[in-house]
Amino acid sequence: MNKLWAAFIVIGIVFCMATGNAVTINNEMINGGKSALKMVIEMLPLMAIWSGLMNIASKSGLLNKLSIMLSPILNPLFPDIEKGHESLGLITSNMVANIFGLGSAATPFGLKAMKSLQELNHDKKIASRSMITFLVLNTSGLTLIPTTIISLRMMHGSQNPTEIILASILATFFSTFFGLLMNKFLSRKEA
Amino acid sequence: MKVTDFIIPLIALFIIIYGVKKKVQVYDAFIEGAKEGIQTCIEIFPVLITMIFAINILLKSNVLNVVLSFLSPLFEALNIPKDIIPLMFLRPISGSSSLVLVNDIFTSYGPDTYIGRLASVLQGCTDTTIYVLSLYFGSVGIKKTRYALFNGLFADIMGIIASIVFVNLLFY
């Protein structure tokens, strides 16, 4: 992450200067933080509301129940987490929110899941095996109904805005499957 | 009203009714959780600024387009439309800018064309890997991410291949 971040900035700035476009960087230095601030402001109430609800779900034992229900699927994926641990419930909630295309609800669940996984982590500076598996599941984009795309297709006058759902599901399944396969391979290699 | 409109209200309803049934102090529990949520949000703010800063500099420098123009003969040989290539590279980095690209593709070609369908499936089947990784790891202070980035990008590449394969299989 360290190198990637530095590379993004160095490449960006050098290229801008080389093409005589230094003004772009100047503007970005002055205004760049605004978009991040806007994101946080939009995210703050969402985080508060969903974390509030999730705390109720956690206290009532609903999360543990959810994680026990889904343990046949999740346990093989997360062998390091004991059965019925709350983090599995949070991972499930994040996945469910993603699957239904509720991106705004998925982030609070995901961040809570990371916190919970960090509590189980032995070395707090190094990513645990479970964290990486969770992020592969998350970023390979398990989405059942890509709502944003469907509405965008509708806006552009598509004859059949939902015709891409099947291809989308198959592709997302394919990428998740191979992502997890690679994950198993890499985690064994490093362990 | 769509069926999906009911999901969020039903989840909220279920959580609260279940909590009351299990005799949880729902009001206090909600405040406690909200406090925790706001704390998380403040903790991730520096991470967000740091990442968005780097991403914006890279995107606005236009360097991606130049790199892509070198690669385009390769993609042409594989029968991949030229205008979809920036989307493949942007998708893991930024969700909003890749959505803008999909919008551009729909405007110039229409959503029901080969490139339009491909863009739809591509945008729908993967997520913003680099952004999510930096946000999630940054939020809990992980410094060494091991094989996470490689693994995430590998899944994205599989998604790109799968999009091309399934759009061809299902539509043509």
A26 pLDDT above the threshold of 70: yes
Please judge whether B37 and A118 are an interchain contact, meaning their C-beta atoms are less than 8 angstroms apart.
no
Q: Is A78:A128 a contact under the CB 8 Å cutoff? A: no
Q: Which two tokens stand for residue B134?
A: 């930096």
Q: Both A99 and A32 in a single domain?
A: no
Is residue A51 situated within a structural domain? no
Is residue A47 situated within a structural domain? no
- Gap between the terminal Cα atoms of chain A: 21
- Please state, in angstroms and rounded to a whole number, the distance separating the CA atoms of residues B90 and B52: 14
Looking at residue A146, what is its pLDDT? 79
Q: Which two tokens stand for residue A75?
A: 């346990």
Structural domains counted in chain A: 2
**Adjacent-strand bridge partners of B144:** A126
Q: Both A86 and A156 in a single domain?
A: yes
A160 pLDDT above the threshold of 70: yes
Kindly state the helix (H) or strand (E) to which residue B163 belongs, with its residue range.
helix B148-171
Which residues constitute the domain of residue A5? Answer: 1-42
Is residue A183 situated within a structural domain? yes
Q: Both A101 and A23 in a single domain?
A: no
B1 pLDDT above the threshold of 60: no
Q: What is the ipTM of this complex?
A: 0.85
Q: Both A146 and A102 in a single domain?
A: yes
Q: Is A136:B158 a contact under the CB 8 Å cutoff? A: no
Q: Both A68 and A159 in a single domain?
A: yes
State the pLDDT confidence band at B3, using cuts at 50, 70 and 90: low
Is residue A53 situated within a structural domain? no
Please judge whether B125 and A28 are an interchain contact, meaning their C-beta atoms are less than 8 angstroms apart.
no
Contact of A40 with chain B, judged by CB distance below 8 Å, is answered with yes
Is residue A56 situated within a structural domain? no
Q: Both A1 and A74 in a single domain?
A: no
Q: Both A70 and A122 in a single domain?
A: yes
Please judge whether A183 and B132 are an interchain contact, meaning their C-beta atoms are less than 8 angstroms apart.
no
- Please state, in angstroms and rounded to a whole number, the distance separating the CA atoms of residues A71 and A80: 13
Give the residue extent of every domain in chain B.
Answer: 1-45, 62-171
pLDDT in tens, A73-101: 888 899 999 887 889 989 988 888 787 76
Please judge whether B4 and A13 are an interchain contact, meaning their C-beta atoms are less than 8 angstroms apart.
no
Is residue A49 situated within a structural domain? no
pLDDT in tens, B66-112: 888 888 888 888 778 888 988 998 888 888 788 888 999 999 999 99
Residue recorded with tokens 């940054």 = B138
Cβ contacts (< 8 Å) between A39 and chain B: which residues? 48, 52
Q: Both A67 and A35 in a single domain?
A: no
Q: Both A90 and A145 in a single domain?
A: yes
State the pLDDT confidence band at A191, using cuts at 50, 70 and 90: low
Rounded to a whole number, what is the distance in Å from the CA of A138 to chain B's nearest CA?
8
Looking at residue A43, what is its pLDDT? 80
Cβ contacts (< 8 Å) between A53 and chain B: which residues? 11-12, 15-16, 30, 33
Rounded to a whole number, what is the distance in Å from the CA of B77 to chain A's nearest CA?
22
pLDDT in tens, B115-158: 999 999 998 888 889 989 999 999 999 999 999 999 999 999 99
Instruction: Identify the closest residue of chain B to A53 by CA–CA distance.
Output: B30
B2: left (phi over 0), alpha (psi -120 to 50) or beta: beta
pLDDT in tens, B36-77: 889 888 888 888 888 888 888 888 888 888 888 888 888 888
Is residue A50 situated within a structural domain? no
